[in-house]
């Protein structure tokens, strides 16, 4: 039931109509009995600043921001959390009643949530991690791993200069390597995270020697369409524990929900099952 007091939050991006976020948030709202609603605000053109800037004041409580607007979301905000600044991007904007906009980035928290949920024996502080890719998604993952205590994070990318830019921005625990030297970093990795767009349905395959990883290495892909990417299938065939991008999506939604609706979402709801159903339809 929508009432005069319904709290509104939503998600914007391009494209956004197939976003799973409305399904997750609205299921949690219903289960918690919160008078709120979460909708998609599609942006066909380039009106991101007009949309987000126009929401100053808090009539809409907050927005999740997805591709390609995450960097611009951070730039637009008046205040930002440390992790959003380190990530160089925001996936959450909160509109304060005082007119200010707060940017946060919960993608890294989502990544760590996914590891806790699907690879509970893995410990971020126990050894080096490898992030494949050097775009916005990769930078967020590196920032989260460093902030959580990873002793070393190798950023491996086809274009070395982009990996070096991340290493320069995020400190001396981060090292950059070209893709053809992936093996060097993989051989002592405790976790390998694919943050490239390779593996997305219809995109090229990522060619890395996953067999060079120790048997206990956990392998993750941020892509969740398909849920089992060729990269995760390769890891599973090698007997590695795998973590998928859908669990990360759910994990980033939890602190987003808290920003928008002021409480943790209920835990007794199978939102993963709902999301899987929506992915199949
Ligand atoms: P995002 O901001 O979503 O992370 P992006 O900036 O387009 O997206 O970055 C995509 C990443 O995937 C890049 O690291 C890209 O490598 P380059 O920087 O060399 O372009 C990587 N990538 C995409 N397709 C790839 C492929 N087939 N093999 C290896 N890397 C690939």
Q: Whose CA is nearest to atom 7 of ligand 1?
A: 135
How many angstroms is it from 159 CA to the middle of ligand 1?
A: 9
Q: Whose CA is nearest to atom 22 of ligand 1?
A: 196
Q: 21-32 and 271-280 are packed helices; what angle lies between their axes, rounded to 10 degrees?
A: 140
Asked whether residue 179 falls in the same domain as residue 268, the answer is no
Edge-first strand listing for the sheet containing 129-132: 174-178, 153-157, 129-132, 191-194, 218-221, 241-243
Task: Enumerate the active-site residues.
Answer: 70
Q: What is the pLDDT of residues 64-86, one digit of tens each?
A: 999 999 999 999 999 999 999 99
CATH code of residue 63: 3.40.50.10860
Spatial separation of the C-alpha atoms in residues 6 and 9, rounded to whole Å: 10
Q: What is the pLDDT of residues 213-258, one digit of tens each?
A: 999 999 999 999 999 999 999 999 999 999 999 999 999 999 999 9
In which residue are the tokens 């219903």 written? 30
Other Cβ atoms closer than 10 A to 84: 27
Average pLDDT, integer, range 164-175: 97
Residue 202: per-residue pLDDT? 63
Asked whether residue 116 falls in the same domain as residue 210, the answer is yes
Measured from CB, residues less than 6 Å from any atom of ligand 1 are: 67, 133-138, 157-159, 162, 195-198, 204, 206
- Judged against a pLDDT cut of 70, whether residue 201 lies above it is answered with no
16-31 burial by CB neighbour count: b if 16+ within 10 A, else e?
beebbbbbbbebbbee
User: What is the residue range of 228's domain?
Assistant: 108-243
Spatial separation of the C-alpha atoms in residues 87 and 70, rounded to whole Å: 10
Q: 160-170 and 136-147 are packed helices; what angle lies between their axes, rounded to 10 degrees?
A: 30
CATH code of residue 226: 3.40.50.720
Residue 2 forms part of a structural domain? no
Residue 1 forms part of a structural domain? no
Residue 209 forms part of a structural domain? yes
Spatial separation of the C-alpha atoms in residues 107 and 40, rounded to whole Å: 18
Question: Which tokens in the block code for residue 185?
Answer: 């970093």
At 201 the three-state DSSP class reads: coil
Q: Write the CA distances from 25 to 81, 139, 206, integer angstroms.
A: 22, 26, 32
Mean pLDDT for all residues in the chain: 96
How many angstroms is it from 136 CA to the middle of ligand 1?
A: 9
- Judged against a pLDDT cut of 80, whether residue 4 lies above it is answered with yes
- Judged against a pLDDT cut of 90, whether residue 89 lies above it is answered with yes
- Judged against a pLDDT cut of 90, whether residue 1 lies above it is answered with no
In which residue are the tokens 């494209």 written? 15
């Amino acid at each position: 039931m929508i009432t005069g007091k319904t709290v509104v939050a939503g998600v914007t991006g391009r494209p956004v109509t197939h976003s799973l976020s409305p399904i997750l948030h609205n299921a949690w709202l219903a289960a918690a009995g919160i008078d709120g609603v979460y909708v998609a605000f599609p942006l066909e053109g380039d009106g991101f600043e007009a949309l987000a800037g126009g929401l100053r004041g808090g009539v809409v409580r907050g927005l999740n921001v997805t591709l390609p607007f995450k960097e611009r979301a951070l730039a637009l905000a008046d205040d930002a959390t440390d992790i959003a600044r380190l990530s160089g991007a925001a996936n959450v904007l909160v509109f304060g009643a005082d007119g200010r906009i707060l940017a946060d980035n919960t993608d890294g928290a989502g990544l760590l949530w996914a590891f806790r949920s699907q690879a509970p024996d893995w410990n971020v502080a126990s050894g080096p991690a490898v992030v494949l890719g050097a775009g916005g998604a990769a930078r967020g993952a590196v920032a989260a791993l460093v902030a959580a205590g990873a002793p070393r994070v190798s950023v491996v990318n086809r274009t070395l200069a982009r990996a070096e830019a991340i290493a320069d921005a995020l400190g001396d625990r981060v090292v950059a390597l070209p893709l053809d030297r992936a093996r060097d970093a993989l051989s002592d990795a405790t976790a390998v995270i694919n943050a490239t767009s390779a593996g997305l349905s219809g995109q090229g395959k990522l060619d890395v020697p996953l067999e060079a990883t120790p048997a206990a290495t956990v392998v993750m892909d941020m892509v969740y369409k398909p849920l089992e990417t060729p990269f995760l299938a390769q890891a599973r065939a090698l007997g590695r524990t795998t973590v998928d991008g859908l669990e990360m999506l759910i994990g980033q939604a939890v602190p987003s929900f808290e920003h928008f609706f002021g409480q943790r979402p209920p835990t007794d709801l199978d939102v993963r099952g709902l999301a899987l159903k929506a992915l199949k339809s």
